[in-house]
Amino acid sequence: MIGRNRVQAITEAITLQYANGKSLARPVGSKRFSPYIGFHIEAGRDDELDARFRAARIEQIEIKHQRQGGAEIVRHWALGETIRFYVVTSGPVAQTVAGSLGRNATATAAAGIGMRWGSNDRSRMAVRGYLDLLVRMDLLRLAQLSVRSRMTDVLLAALLDHGRVCEAADALIDRTRHPELVTFHELALPLGPGDEEEWGKGETTTVVPFKSLHPVQIDRDYIERIWRPDAVHQAALRDWPGIQAWAGEYALQADERSPKERSDMVEPVGR
């Protein structure tokens, strides 16, 4: 029997960004820019999100983006240096970016991870999930964290470490209440600044990539502290088919973004 397909709707996601110290930012009302490290979301793009952040008194900052022909100053909501992210994926299929592509590209997309080689052989990677900050505001909307170049190694490393913690949780949870494997979205992934690194060839640049902030030793108390709310689990089950469809499309996209869109993405030096 041939059957009949059902058209898969792909939900737009909130764009979550990370500045690794290369971007210049300032508090609104200040005159001086300085290197900025932290997570942020552009203001003025989403009325509902803006209203929630204003009500929660989230700070706004102005980031100077380098454009062709000059600089543009754009307001963003500053989320701080650390976040907790319920990432919706079944996990990496390989230990490296190169290993995740090629013959494993289909499996990577099926795992809900967007990944591809972009222009100038630069890798691109993105994941979707729920920000704990928004979950606590009862706003269960997908956020997308996108990176490129060497930051893809950074994001992949964070996911691999999160998988380690999920495996540890398998032996710590109450199996009578949760007989299945602990999946990635069921635990909050804490992300925050790592150590300073020098990136680039020849003339290098000092950057501060993010990293997984999970501790080395995992115990039951820690798992309970980062365990997802029931609403996150229900939202993940609802959104999972759409995330897989999005990841499949992401893998096939060409780099046809505008100069503004390209400069807004995390862009460390070289791969």
Distance from CA of residue 71 to its chain's centroid? Answer: 26
Measure Cα distances from 245 to 9, 85, 87 in Å: 8, 21, 16
**Segment 226-236 mean pLDDT:** 97
What confidence tens digit (pLDDT) does each residue in 146-174 have? 999 999 999 999 999 999 999 999 999 98
Query: What's the predicted TM-score (pTM) here?
Result: 0.89
pLDDT attached to residue 255: 59
pLDDT attached to residue 69: 76
Assess contact for 130 and 243: CB atoms under 8 A. no
pLDDT bin (cut points 50, 70, 90) of residue 187 is very high
Joined tokens for residue 71? 């600089």
What confidence tens digit (pLDDT) does each residue in 39-69 have? 999 999 999 999 999 999 999 999 998 777 7
Assess contact for 84 and 232: CB atoms under 8 A. no
What confidence tens digit (pLDDT) does each residue in 103-144 have? 999 999 999 999 999 777 789 999 999 999 999 999 999 999
Please list, residue by residue across 138-159, b when 16 or more beta carbons sit within 10 angstroms of its beta carbon and e when fewer do: eebbbbbbbbbbbbbbbbbbbb
pLDDT attached to residue 269: 38
What confidence tens digit (pLDDT) does each residue in 67-82 have? 777 788 999 999 999 9
Give the CB-side neighbour count of residue 204, counting CA atoms within 13 A: 8
What confidence tens digit (pLDDT) does each residue in 204-218 have? 889 999 999 999 999
pLDDT bin (cut points 50, 70, 90) of residue 177 is confident
Taking the C-alpha atoms of residue 268 and residue 271, their distance in angstroms, rounded to an integer, is 9
CA angle 63, 65, 66 (to 5 degrees): 150
Measure Cα distances from 143 to 7, 19, 62 in Å: 22, 16, 21
CA angle 33, 84, 192 (to 5 degrees): 45
Taking the C-alpha atoms of residue 75 and residue 26, their distance in angstroms, rounded to an integer, is 10
